[in-house]
Copies of this chain bind each other. A is one copy, B any other.
């Protein structure tokens, strides 16, 4: 493959009849320069279509302005909105975004992290939903975690999941449900979703009802998820309310329920969790607990900025949730 010869600083210097230093100064607008020189250099740059080589600069400055994002997938209303928000906020702080979709595969997540680190990223925002917590996260690389406890010293941005779980469960209880079932990740998955379960269990216990949780992992294929929900209805035909830990599962559950002749909300009430914008457009009827997704993104970037600026003891942040009234629950 032919290597295209790039216009470099030296070429600009030659054309403008100055030294590399001067061009560099013009480029970075540093130091004293005569207007005439600036002018000539700018002209030379234009003429040659000069574009500075970020790699070379990065090698020197040890700063890449790159932030890595590691999430299960971007193909999801919640993560999609979140990553779009992160990208936007990072952009405003003049960072570029390196995307890594781990597909909830621990091995892939590790590989991604390795690669991102090799790329000398300036920071990392993680929200992958698995247990892999490699010890190279123990570097002093600025890291922010979203909805997931990674390590003690890493700040977490999360919704008030316990409160969300309360809102959802209470809503179903208020609607008169007596047999409420919950869906969530397996207990060993270290995500803050577990707080939603905790709230559900506490409220059910207080109300004197049994708490039953069906476990569905993030990377469970869709058909398999449907099979699990079908089993739910087989094993618990008395179910009259379901608190799903995310809207996608809520949608799937409603599909399965309807296919079995259950009417929603007459025979079965369903409350979801997330309330992403995309979901609101396609499925506005869904009653759900809405997270402040855009705010999460903004806060996360802010916490990362703080760390990059050298601040230590960056505090975790919990954000409020609201119940969104639909017709399914």
Contacts and interface: CB of A to CB of B under 8 A. Distances in A.
Indicate how many identical chains form the complex. 2
A58 interface: yes
A136 interface: yes
A119 interface: yes
Contacts of A48: none
A311 to B, nearest CB: 10
Interface in A232-266: 247-248, 251-252, 255
Contacts of A74: 74, 80, 83-84, 87
A4 interface: yes
Given A84-B101, A87-B99, A99-B99, A55 B64 contact: yes
A282 B248 contact: yes
Contacts of A83: 74-75, 99
A120 interface: yes
A62 B6 CA distance: 10
A25 interface: no
Contacts of A279: 282
Interface in A277-292: 277-279, 281-284
A3 interface: yes
A153 interface: no
A55 B53 contact: no
Interface in A76-96: 76-77, 80-81, 83-85, 87-88, 91, 96
Interface in A96-121: 96-101, 103, 108, 112, 114-120
Nearest to A281: B251
Contacts of A112: 91
A56 B54 contact: no
Interface residues of A, number: 65
B120 A278 contact: no
A55 B251 CA distance: 45
A120 B309 CA distance: 26
B49 A59 contact: no
A120 B281 contact: no
B55 A59 contact: yes
B120 A53 contact: yes
Given A1-B309, A282-B247, A84 B88 contact: no
A75 B84 contact: yes
Contacts of A49: 136
A277 B75 contact: yes
A140 interface: yes
B4 A118 contact: no
A101 B118 contact: no
A279 B101 CA distance: 20
Given A1-B310, A55-B120, A310-B1, A101 B77 contact: no
Contacts of A248: 278, 281-282
Interface of A: 1-4, 6, 49, 51-56, 58-59, 62, 64, 66, 69, 73-77, 80-81, 83-85, 87-88, 91, 96-101, 103, 108, 112, 114-120, 136, 140, 222, 247-248, 251-252, 255, 277-279, 281-284, 308-310
